Structures are given as C-alpha cells and as structure tokens.
Amino acid sequence: MPDFDLSFPNNPTLNFDSQRILIVGDLMLDRYTFGRATRISPEAPVPVLEFEKQEDRLGGAANVALNLQALRATPILAGLVGNDADGDLLIQALMQHGIEHQYILKSKERVTTVKTRIMAGRQQLARLDREQTHDLTVLERALFLNTTAKILQEAKVTGLVFQDYNKGVLTKEVIETVSSAAHSLGIPIFVDPKLHNFWSYQGAALFKPNLKEVREAIGTPVEPSLFSLREAAKLIRSKTSAKNILITLSEHGLFFDNGDFSEIVSTRARVVADPCGAGDTVISMAALAICQGFSPMDVAQLANLAGGQVVEKSGVVAINKQQLLDEFFHYKNQV
C-alpha cells in the first residue's frame, strides 16, 4: 500500500507535505534514566538500581513538532529554552531530527524544563521535574512576540498550534497577541490548553482539552457520556467560540463536536505501555486532518488512532505514519 497517496472517495489525501504548522508553546526534554533493580536499599524501603543508560527525548511542544514531521508536514517551533546544557541538548535533538529551530530563544532567566523519569525496565519508579514556571519577563515577551510575528508573516504558515503546559511561555498577552495576528492572516488555530489560561483562547479551529482539564475549568462533574460531553462542549463553545471541540477521554477514547456533529469514538483494544505524549500526538493529527479538509468523523478517527498507537510504546515517541495508514485503511473498509 502506498505511503503518501492513500485516499478514499469524497475524502482528501493523507499527504500532508504542503502543511507548514507553527507550534507556539512550552519546550521540554523528557529524560529517561534506566536501571536494573538489584536489591532494596538499607537506607530506605526503595529499590537500588544499577545504571544502564539514559535517553533524552523531545517533549511538550517539541514532541508536537516531532509528530508533525513524522506525518511528513513541516513543523516550525517558537519557544524558549534556558541558556544551559539541557537547552543545548534540546536544540541538538531538534537538529538531529531535521526540525527547524532557528526561532527558539535562549533565556538567562530560566532553566530548560526537564522531566526525568527513573525507570526499572518499563516500570516508572519516580519522576523529577527541573523547571521554572514563572511568566516571561517583559523583555522575553517582547522578543518572543516579535519572533512569532515574523514567522507568521514570512514562513507561509498553514496552521498554528498552541501547546500549553503552564510553564510560563503562553501568557494571556502572548495568547491574545499571537491569536490576533493569526486570525488576521486567516491561519487556523489549534489549542491544547491547560487550566491557567483555559478561557483565554478565542476563535480556535480546534480546542482540545482532556476530560480532567474540562472538569477543572468548568468546575462541575463531566462524565464520559454523550449527553454530559455535549453539554460541556456547548459551554466551552459559548466561552471560546471554538469551531471544533475534541476532548480526550483516556481509556474511553475521545469526544468530537463541531456544533452539528458530536460523537464519542471508542478506543480499539490496545496494551497500554505509557500514556506520555499521547495528547501531543492527538493534536498533531487532528490539526493536519482539519487543515486537509477531512470530515469530522474522519478527523476524530485519525486522532483516536494516532493517540492509541503511541500509548502502546514505552516513553514519549512519535507516530508511525505507515501504521496509521494501515489502521485508517482498515477503518474505512469497515464503514
């Protein structure tokens, strides 16, 4: 089966080569330190690990870029890292993957966000976060806004993803200024929000929280049922004017609503190894599918298949496009 020109009657192609997606948000490294458990420590009731290896993987907004590239779109990153060794490692990792990094700013005012997971085989024993989550300084904000304005004007962007992890980059002013610039250019906006500025994103083509975030933002119980989710979507749309709303539901799949169409798409049976990074994959896939003009149901199915695929693998990983094509082809032959 061909990799790039798979298409179906009345549906657009899965060739995303023409899509140039700007990702604005929080960059981080996902660090995995692997060891072999040999005994229980005499100092405390914890295992002693013999060090085996350490791996650094792209996380946060950088993982969105990695997924977009894996789907053969062109990602363009705008974010900040610390002026430190971990910031250098993150940029080196982007270079190794051939991802554009020239718009990433280095800050002396903060450290690069690193999430270190201590692993015994596939078992995560602990996680240590090294980060600073204060808002951008006045100077950082001015430089960052100038950079994003330049990208939007010059880089022939076809879509904009806000990837928010509450690390201080996506302040209310940054969100509003960048959104206004994108709207004026007719560039669709795709949002993966967090609680702090949940209601600041206006007029998005896609708004993609998870169920926990929806419950926290609304402040009332929201169940993974069609009626409850439809009511939540109505409220979100009334406050954000989002065109499409996608709510990820963990083991229940995802919910997609565009005002006229709403559906829960259940997950297929999978062995879940690690949920880390699945949200990054979902918004990457959904953004491309919407840019490409897919139907609401196909957007939901592609996003669900993409997110389900990566949770089968250990650690933060990018989507495998050929596997996605195979699974989507199977789905289309069943409908």
Which residues are designated catalytic?
Answer: 280
Question: Minimal CA–CA distance to 324: which of 311, 307, 306, 297?
Answer: 306
Cβ burial of 17 (10 Å; 0-12, 13-18, 19+) is: exposed
Q: Is the Cα torsion angle 257, 242, 240, 302 positive or negative in sign?
A: positive
Separation between Cα atoms, residue 207 and residue 87, nearest integer Å? 29
Query: Which spans in 241-320 are helix H?
Result: 278-291, 296-310
Q: How far apart are CA 85 and CA 62, in angstroms?
A: 17
Integer Cα distance of 286 and 233 in angstroms: 17
**What backbone torsions phi and psi does residue 148 show, to the nearest 5 degrees?**
-65, -35
Both tokens of residue 143? Answer: 């430089």
Confirm if 58 and 65 have CB atoms less than 8 A apart.
yes
> Comparing C-alpha atoms, which of 262, 260, 269, 265 is closest to residue 285?
265
What is the spatial distance between Cα 292 and Cα 302, in angstroms, rounded to a whole number?
A: 12
Strand partners, 20: 74
